[in-house]
A and B are shown apart, each in its own frame.
Chain A
Amino acid sequence: MPVKVHLDQVGMAFTTPGGTFRAVAPMSLSIESGRFVSLVGPSGCGKSTLFNVIAGLLQPTEGRVLIDGEDATGTIGRVGYMLQKDLLLPWRTVLDNAILGMEIQGKPLKEARERALPLLHKYGLAGFEYLYPNSLSGGMRQRAALLRTLLFDTDVILLDEPFGALDAQTKLQMQEWLMQLWGDFKKTVVFVTHDVEEAIYLSDEIHVMGTRPGRILETIPVTIARPRVRTSSLTPEFIAIKERCLNLLTTPAIEEAA
């Protein structure tokens, strides 16, 4: 598989009155095309910083971001980025929210709507197209926000804890739904989550991150066969990965305490 996104020694440091604060240690990371990759880590490990750097919203203090081998550092509009909040515009219908990306790219509205409608139907928003976001449930809002990201037509999409605020039941449904979308659209997905089980269930590869400074502690491939089922989480392989992740996530805290 060709490398889609490559971070080349990307690091981030902020100058504060007390000296230099290193948010992210220079790190390299390659994400292959069509893969589902998760970043798991405690808060403050620089996940969001990395996402902002990849999306071109933040200039890294060192290193480069390569997308398809091209330098994309500090350029916007190259990847789809879904932030934690759904950020649906309350004055637009679900349909018009979904086409925002295409609209900004200058696609005629009529064409954009024609493209979006069948997708909204197919992916569980049938009957909601002409409603305003305030009448939608949390899960439905996330669906609309994710479809907006997908309809932006980039090969790479970044999802920053998209299901973090949902209840457990809805979260499981949304995971299935995301798997279906990923299978259909063949995008490269980078997924940030706090939930280790969610990461294992969804990903091909998990990068476990640590804090102070933010860095990748270990990369764990997940080789559980797809399509995965819920009971996969009971297999020894799944449990072994989970144990490894949890150990990595808790160890630094113990070191600091000692």
Chain B
Amino acid sequence: MAIQDTPRVADIGNLAAGATAKPTAKPVRRLPVQKDWPAWAIVATQAGVLVAIIAFWEFAATTGLISAFFWSQPSAIYRTLIIFITEGNAWTDIGFTFRSTIFGFALGTTIGSLFGLSFWWSRNYAAIVQPYIICFESIPKLALAPLIILVFGLGLSSKVAIAFALTFVISTLTTFAGVKALDPDGEKLFYSLGASRWQVFRKLVVPFCLPWIISVLRVNIGLALTGAIVGEFIASQHGLGRQILYAGQTYDIALVWVAVLVLSTLAVIMYATVSWLEGVLRKGTRQ
């Protein structure tokens, strides 16, 4: 207590002294202003940071600061990249991973959204099915991956199935949230105009839920890619995931980095495409 008291007493002393010196000692405070940098400065700094990281990595690996065996180094990665693209079967692997991701994404999102929308048709049906969905959501789907590989085999279909399992539930639940958010008065308006169930579904429920359906696209493309890669890790003859696993097991660290780099590029391209698609669709919904 004594330790705490001492500065407090001192503070009171200071305050009293200040008050007698300046009667209007109310602190003047201004709104903190943050000045925005021009866009080129931001981009230049970003590029600078990247270059600095790569340069440090190369330097550290060359001088033995970090182990070049475990971490590899940018120059080696670059050489491997050229070989990978020009001589190896890079395009087969990229195509394989790309196809599993896109099929899994498309199937999972479409079927999941339709399944979510279907809950609008019957409250009883929704109440019966809901616990199963939530249960399935809580299972770590990747834990099922070995089983899926056994059932669907080593080829493309097992990777698509894993990507599907990851994306399907998210789409279902999000779309169902949209269905639940539907204003009952909106339905009332449609029925007062003599609409059929099908008309209400097509002209009200689907367009109303579209923003919810769209909002999961970006999440799902990432999940689909994860599903495809994990499938390739477990058992596959092609794909970037298999390349990463193979390179790691043979201590070809440069090749691991190359595969990761290519994979990231693929992910960025798909992500950007889906973001663009999202923008286009959102414009149509006006919400």
Q: Which of A's residues lie within 8 Å of B, judged by CB?
A: 52, 55-57, 76-81, 83, 85, 87, 89-91, 100-101, 103-105, 132, 134, 152
A90 and chain B: residue at smallest CB distance: B286
A134→B286 contact, CB < 8 A: yes
Provide the residues of chain A in CB contact with B285, threshold 8 Å.
Answer: 90-91
Provide the residues of chain A in CB contact with B287, threshold 8 Å.
Answer: 90-91
B207→A91 contact, CB < 8 A: yes
B191→A57 contact, CB < 8 A: yes
Which of B183, B186, B194, B284 is the one whose CB lies under 8 Å from A76?
A: B194
A76→B185 contact, CB < 8 A: no
**Does B130 have its Cβ within 8 Å of any Cβ on chain A?**
no
Provide the residues of chain A in CB contact with B193, threshold 8 Å.
Answer: 76-77, 100-101, 104-105, 152
B194 and chain A: residue at smallest CB distance: A77
Provide the residues of chain A in CB contact with B284, threshold 8 Å.
Answer: 91
List 17 extra interface pairs beyond A76-B193, A77-B192, CB under 8 A.
A56-B191, A57-B188, A57-B191, A76-B191, A76-B195, A80-B192, A83-B185, A83-B189, A85-B183, A85-B185, A87-B183, A89-B204, A91-B285, A104-B195, A104-B203, A132-B286, A134-B286
B199 and chain A: residue at smallest CB distance: A104
Write out, one digit per residue, whether chain B residues 187-223 have a CB within 8 A of any chain A CB (1) or not (0): 0111111110001000110010010000000000000
Shortest distance between the CB of A34 and any CB in chain B (Å):
21
Alpha-carbon separation in the docked complex, A80 to B285 (Å): 26
Provide the residues of chain B in CB contact with A77, threshold 8 Å.
Answer: 191-195
A93 and chain B: residue at smallest CB distance: B286
Alpha-carbon separation in the docked complex, A105 to B195 (Å): 8
Query: Number of contact residues on B: which range applies?
Result: 20 to 34
Alpha-carbon separation in the docked complex, A57 to B190 (Å): 11
Q: Which of B's residues lie within 8 Å of A, judged by CB?
A: 183, 185-186, 188-195, 199, 203-204, 207, 210, 284-287
Provide the residues of chain A in CB contact with B183, threshold 8 Å.
Answer: 85, 87
Chief secondary structure at chain A's binding surface:
loop
Provide the residues of chain B in CB contact with A85, threshold 8 Å.
Answer: 183, 185
Alpha-carbon separation in the docked complex, A90 to B190 (Å): 15
Alpha-carbon separation in the docked complex, A132 to B287 (Å): 10
Which of A52, A83, A91, A104 is the one whose CB lies under 8 Å from B194?
A: A104
Alpha-carbon separation in the docked complex, A105 to B193 (Å): 8
Shortest distance between the CB of A135 and any CB in chain B (Å):
10
B192→A81 contact, CB < 8 A: yes
Provide the residues of chain B in CB contact with A132, threshold 8 Å.
Answer: 286
Alpha-carbon separation in the docked complex, A134 to B191 (Å): 24
Shortest distance between the CB of B258 and any CB in chain A (Å):
46
Most buried by A among B195, B285, B287: B195
A91→B185 contact, CB < 8 A: no
Alpha-carbon separation in the docked complex, A219 to B155 (Å): 79
A87→B286 contact, CB < 8 A: no
B192→A105 contact, CB < 8 A: no
Q: Which A-B residue pairs are the 5 nearest by beta carbons?
A: A77-B194, A81-B192, A101-B193, A104-B195, A104-B193
Residues A83 and B188 in contact in the complex (CB < 8 Å), given A101-B193, A104-B194, A152-B193: yes
Alpha-carbon separation in the docked complex, A91 to B189 (Å): 16
A57→B192 contact, CB < 8 A: yes
B189→A87 contact, CB < 8 A: yes
Shortest distance between the CB of A37 and any CB in chain B (Å):
18
B188→A105 contact, CB < 8 A: no
Provide the residues of chain B in CB contact with A87, threshold 8 Å.
Answer: 183, 185-186, 189
Shortest distance between the CB of A77 and any CB in chain B (Å):
2
Shortest distance between the CB of A58 and any CB in chain B (Å):
10
